Structure 1
Amino acid sequence: MRAVQFSDYGPPSVVHVAEVAEPHAGAGEIRIAVRASGISAGETYFRSGRLRDVVPTTFPYRTGVEAAGVVDEVGDGVTGVGVGDEVFGLTDLATRGANADHAVLAAWAPKPAAWSWEEAGGAAGGVETATRVLDRLGVAAGHTVLVQGAAGGVGTIAVQLAVARGATVIGTASERNHDFLRSLGAEPTTYGPGLAGRVRAPAPEGVDAVFDCAGGALPDLIAIAGDAARVVTIADFAAAAHGVHMSQTALGGESGAAIGAVADPPALHGLGIAVALAGQGRLRVPVAAAFPLTEAAAAHELSETRHARGKIVLVN
């Protein structure tokens, strides 16, 4: 089968499609014929070599942690799903391999009828990440939350999940994305110098929590929150130096600690919440671009710009 991988550090051009052996579902797993899969922004850091000194990479590195497709194998002990069912979900984070013709999922949920394959293929990672961080921040009805980098793949999901919890959401993005953020339920503002003053207008009593999806602004975000403990980042590797928690599930042990990331338990319950919200028309997965599997390098190139509005996916 075809699978996307890279065999050395480098620019997006090192990403290629290779012919590899098909994986098979083990106990507690299912295999799907992939219809669409997401590009992980975090994997672009691994590919570039940015983290080579703290997170050793074994080559070839098979990419992709989220996918949607049709079940074609069911492992021992699995109930409630059968061959032919349409699902979306996550691979084992240690083995990855979602950007392929077939993928083994360790966690999954039924594909919402309201979502296209492209939306479902790019949903699971953002849903799990956003749920994990919002849970850690204790976001609930009546809270005000600032989402830094609200127009990206995780930010767009975080906005909607926070709104669904009853929170007021302020989201930072470039001005061209402000109407888009309003459509998701957020009050938009621009990022950059003077952010504290701009946030004060829609939130004169301050914010209860800050979810950083962009990185590079932790001192300002801490000042806005009033306490580093009320800020969680998924994107700033300087988090530990500022006393901020960096939430990751793909990293653990010594390698995760080296960049200030303590492995949090995955928030897999978020998949079921997403299905319910999608059925109510309250959660969509904005897709910035969809590329054929064979154009994975171009998808990585777009991801590295950090300007994509929503999720970047590969389609089979």
Structure 2
Amino acid sequence: MNNQSRAVRFDRYGGPEVLHVESIPTPVPAEGEVVVEVRAAGINPGEIGIRSGAMRDRYPATFPSGQGSDLAGVVVALGAGVTEFREGDEVLGYSWQRSSQATHVAVPVHQLIIRPVELSWEQAGGLYVVAATAYAAIRAVDPQPGETVAVSAAAGGVGTLVVQLLRRRGVEVIGIASAANDEWLRERGVVPVHYGDDLAEQLADRKIDAFIDLFGPQYVRLAVDLGIPRDRIETIIAFALAQELGVKAEGSMLASTREVLTEMAGLVADGSLELLVAATYPLDKVADAFTELEKRHTRGKIVLIP
């Protein structure tokens, strides 16, 4: 294994332009860890908030900062006491050290599972955040068969999984997205509704039992204004407003277990869920990847290929 690896770094808060790739010492696995040679690493909207400083009160950065949670790759080194994996195993999982957007990363074994062969590297490397977030968001509102759930950003990385999981439960789904996503949503049994100034009017006459917000505070306020019970409103992003209004804000950390990851990977592997990869970028083009993500029109995940 090479003594040097390459990793995404940023030294100050700012836009995508602060991101760069630099050489760093290849990580050495601690007890209970393995080093993974990364084949794919997803990027996520939450990383924009951390890097820009918008979430510094909740998730402060220590500079220089690495970046990334999602990962898939090959085990190349074992720490003391590791028996779950061997060198050469193909794995997917997550890092909580903001370190996965790199050529090599050290990861505790309990944050990894074997990659199902049916998953491409890109799917495996983009799975964790969207899968855990979707799982937690749906669990928060506890939808029952026959109920109706509205979902904002329904065609995004998390949204595409949320609407599919809801339909699997026999739930009627209203997917809030742009007109460009109408066909994709309808093909999956989702009723498309377009965001815009008249959104409240479009939803006012519908009986909506729960609301999952995947975009921002305007949708939390909309859900409250529609009279949806606050214990059945969930947001994955508007944390301060959720606390103020008494709605739920249950994110990926509450579903970050090997059991959830194994279940979700299995559903993608057997074709029960479609995990969309919108685009891939080489590691050196990380700033371009985030510039694309920040347009907020991506259907599915954007994935870095180290």
Q: TM-score, normalised by structure 2?
A: 0.88
Q: Displacement, 1:214? A: 0.7
2:282 — aligned with what? 292
Is the 2:76–2:87 contact (alpha carbons within 8 Å) kept by the matching residues of 1? yes
- CA distance in 1 between partners of 2:44 and 2:202 (Å): 31
Match among 134, 145, 153 for residue 130 of structure 1: 134
Q: Displacement, 1:127? A: 0.4
- CA distance in 1 between partners of 2:269 and 2:280 (Å): 23
1:254 — aligned with what? none
**Partner-residue secondary structure (3-state), 1:217:** helix
| RMSD of aligned alpha carbons | 2.2
1:57 — aligned with what? 61
- CA distance in 2 between partners of 1:64 and 1:219 (Å): 30
1:10 — aligned with what? 14
Percent of residue pairs bearing the same amino acid type: 39
Number of aligned residues? 298
Mapping for residues 192-271 of structure 1, pairs under 5 Å:
192-199=196-203, 204=206, 206-215=207-216, 216-224=218-226, 226-237=228-239, 238-248=241-251, 264=254, 266-271=256-261
- Structure 1 consecutive aligned stretches of length 4 or more whose deviation exceeds 6 Å: none
Indicate the larger mover: 275-284 or 21-30: 21-30
- CA distance in 2 between partners of 1:192 and 1:15 (Å): 32
CA deviation string 1:278-300 (max 9, x = no partner): 23211122112111000001111
Specify whether residues 122 and 249 from structure 1 end up closer, same or farther in structure 2 by C-alpha distance, changes over 3 A only: closer
Gaps of 5+ in 2: none
- CA distance in 2 between partners of 1:102 and 1:77 (Å): 20
Q: Displacement, 1:227? A: 1.2
1:173 — aligned with what? 177
Q: Displacement, 1:271? A: 1.0
Q: Displacement, 1:184? A: 3.9
Q: Give the partner amino acid of 1:131.
A: Y
- CA distance in 2 between partners of 1:186 and 1:78 (Å): 45
2:26 — aligned with what? 22
1:81 — aligned with what? 85
Specify whether residues 55 and 278 from structure 1 end up closer, same or farther in structure 2 by C-alpha distance, changes over 3 A only: closer
Q: TM-score, normalised by structure 1?
A: 0.86
- CA distance in 2 between partners of 1:24 and 1:167 (Å): 47
1:99 — aligned with what? 101
1:182 — aligned with what? 186
Q: Give the partner amino acid of 2:261.
A: L
Is the 1:110–1:275 contact (alpha carbons within 8 Å) kept by the matching residues of 2? no
Match among 32, 37, 45 for residue 41 of structure 1: 45
Gaps of 5+ in 1: 251-263
- CA distance in 1 between partners of 2:210 and 2:82 (Å): 38
- CA distance in 1 between partners of 2:265 and 2:46 (Å): 25
Specify whether residues 183 and 225 from structure 1 end up closer, same or farther in structure 2 by C-alpha distance, changes over 3 A only: farther
CA deviation string 1:93-118 (max 9, x = no partner): 2x120000012334122323332211
Residue 108 (structure 1) aligned with residue 98 (structure 2):
no
Match among 282, 297, 302 for residue 307 of structure 1: 297
Q: Displacement, 1:59? A: 0.3
CA deviation string 1:5-50 (max 9, x = no partner): 1011111111000111112333333321111101121111121122
- CA distance in 2 between partners of 1:244 and 1:158 (Å): 18
- CA distance in 1 between partners of 2:29 and 2:164 (Å): 33
